[in-house]
Structure 1
């Protein structure tokens, strides 16, 4: 588990540096881990060990009960393949995820497409009081400050400051079963230094 967490932290740093310089950025380290695992299994690396780890979740992940978990495509037209995969994703997420593969992603040189999508809808454990939301100045990493609505709370929150960034963890309310070991949080990382 430590190696998985370390890999997630490295990927988070790389992803933020590469894609999140001037925008909000959301990604799932668990999804990236699953995709890397699928690729490792495909290449025959430690397949027995990896199969044992994912055996328990296979019935959940493989939504259409097929061995691959998705549609089998035999078309030679890359755009038709992309459209079919997007349709499959949309059908299996009740239309919440429609275009998982952008135009040009699948080409005639594509041999295999491994996809993973994560959709989570949870309720906050401690809801913010809408009446406490106030417009304040927000200092962008680049450019001039902008006025945006700030949510406020008098309740305790998890926040930690590090050199160059802060972390905010907002917990979600637990599900119906009384499994107190399952805890979900939205973890937001905010840079505190301007870049460049």
Structure 2
């Protein structure tokens, strides 16, 4: 080896004999055939998940659970979710007609009465649903709304039973600034 070549070798400077020649690719054979380049939607959405519906656990694919959640949001008033659900149903119907598939899909929903204030509490951030997928829409009050309601009571005081009910209905009762007369403090 010449003195000049020895000088050119070092960190980030391999010997000239092992360097790529001009015009030579660093990956001459290219990507191997059959290598996946797409996002693995089927692998992710094909996984089985367990959900709780009407108090019973059900096993389904992640795709089915996602569509069920999207449909439920649409039925609760989310217009974007409703549009997407309808578009997905139309796509599924079109594919089913092409395949002559006669599989029946049955969705069962339980609705709260139209006069119920439950559906208004969450958008107003006054309360939060504790179990989105449960058979009932059990809500928990936010601490700030409890404090505001207590301030509106003025001189009136709640009975110990009423106090327990308020504490149980509050999402995070430890964050509430309870009045001095309050006896049923959270545990």
Taking structure 1 as the reference length, what is the TM-score of the superposition? 0.21
Which is helix-richer, 1 or 2?
2
Which is strand-richer, 1 or 2?
1
Whose radius of gyration is greater, 1 or 2? 2
Taking structure 2 as the reference length, what is the TM-score of the superposition? 0.22
